[in-house]
Amino acid sequence: MKMKLLGVLVVLLSLLVSMTIGCQAQFQPGTYTDDMGREVTITEIPQRIVSHVPSITEMLFALGVGERVVGVSDYCDYPEEAKSKPSVEHYFNPSIENIVALDPDLVLTDGYSEGIIQLDELEPPITYIVIAPKDIDGIFRDLELLGKVTGTEGEAEELIEDMQDSIAHVLALVEGAPPLRVLFIIDATDLTFPWTAGSGSFIDTLITMAGGENIAAQAQGAWVQLSLEEIVNADPEIIILPAKHGTAFTSPETLMGHPVWQGTTAVKENRIFIIDDDLVSRSGPRIIQGLEELARIIHPELFE
């Protein structure tokens, strides 16, 4: 019995050593340029990582380094394991005190939190990298960067290839299909002047890739407000509402019960759909799932 137990321990130790060697083989110490143009030197594979940005946290878990994540924000809710990690509190304003207490050797941020620069002022300073992709190619570049920094370059390459294959599949599927006019409502608290996604947003890009025509594509800015008159004149054929945990921010019934919204083709034909907001707004690996969901909404006939 003791010999069997010893044999199992030897096998487990061998696997652990192999995984460690494989990880080290992919890692090369060096200086990397982040999305803020900062040059960051990484000399050893980070073992204690704090990510207060949901999309970056998703990237880390997708690369298989979730066990090295020692801290997240209250907004990091995917995958499920992320919820059990210690919190550094709010995404936009993480607690520097909580971050320091976690003793990280790397902090990942998107540059929107001004407080993060305090990490440079500590003694010793805590290394941080800004991950803030502006488009889908930027997501690929950042996955590649994280792969190099965390010693998972091979995993990053495989993940990027899978994502690119999925994009190519959707593009081929919708090629030649007539583009349908789409309105993606971000916030319709004011039904006469709702917020939507304009040019420069991931949502605008995804709608186009999915075979749609974003009626706010010509608006100046990623997040814009359209007047109800502009919306009626554009006459969306499809309206998409974001949801969180299955609950839409604005209910379809709200639009259907409004006398002016009832004049749009989307409402007349009951083509109002709900999508998980995280899939199209978080600049992480699941954005490809968001693309596929949008394609199914806009061109369901192609998936029959």
Q: Give residue-wise pLDDT tens across range 51-93.
A: 999 999 999 999 999 999 999 999 999 999 999 999 999 999 9
CA distance 45 to 26: 10
The total of other beta-carbon atoms located within 10 Å of residue 32's CB is 14
C-alpha distances (whole Å) from 202 to each of 123, 134, 276 are: 38, 8, 14
Question: Up-side HSE of residue 110: CA atoms within 13 Å toward CB?
Answer: 21
CA distance 101 to 50: 11
CA distance 113 to 125: 17
Residue in this structure with the two tokens 């946290």, named with its chain if needed: 57
Checking if the pLDDT of 284 tops 50, the result is: yes
More confident of the two residues 227 and 247? 227
Banded pLDDT at 106 (limits 50, 70, 90): very high
pTM of the predicted model as reported, rounded to 2 decimal places: 0.88
Q: What angle do CA 149, 155, 157 make, to 5 degrees?
A: 90
Q: Is 39 exposed, middle or buried (0-12, 13-18, 19+ CB in 10 A)?
A: exposed
Per-state percent for the chain, helix, strand, coil, to nearest 5: 45, 20, 35
Residue in this structure with the two tokens 């096998």, named with its chain if needed: 11
Please enumerate in sequence order all residues whose Cβ is within 8 A of that of 228, keeping only pairs 6 or more positions apart, or say none.
191, 192, 193, 194, 260, 261
Residues across the chain: 304
The total of other beta-carbon atoms located within 10 Å of residue 58's CB is 24
C-alpha distances (whole Å) from 30 to each of 14, 152, 236 are: 29, 15, 50
More confident of the two residues 184 and 189? 184
Check residue 215 and give its pLDDT: 97
CA distance 36 to 111: 7
Check residue 10 and give its pLDDT: 46
Checking if the pLDDT of 8 tops 50, the result is: no
Banded pLDDT at 245 (limits 50, 70, 90): low
Where do runs of H (alpha helix) occur along the chain? Answer: 2-26, 54-62, 96-101, 136-150, 153-174, 202-209, 228-234, 252-256, 265-268, 277-281, 287-298
Banded pLDDT at 17 (limits 50, 70, 90): very low
CA distance 45 to 64: 14
Cα torsion through 9, 12, 18, 20, rounded to 10: -100
Range in 15-19, 113-117, 292-296 the model is least confident about:
15-19
CA distance 150 to 295: 33
**Domains delineated in the chain:** 30-161 (3.40.50.1980), 178-303 (3.40.50.1980)
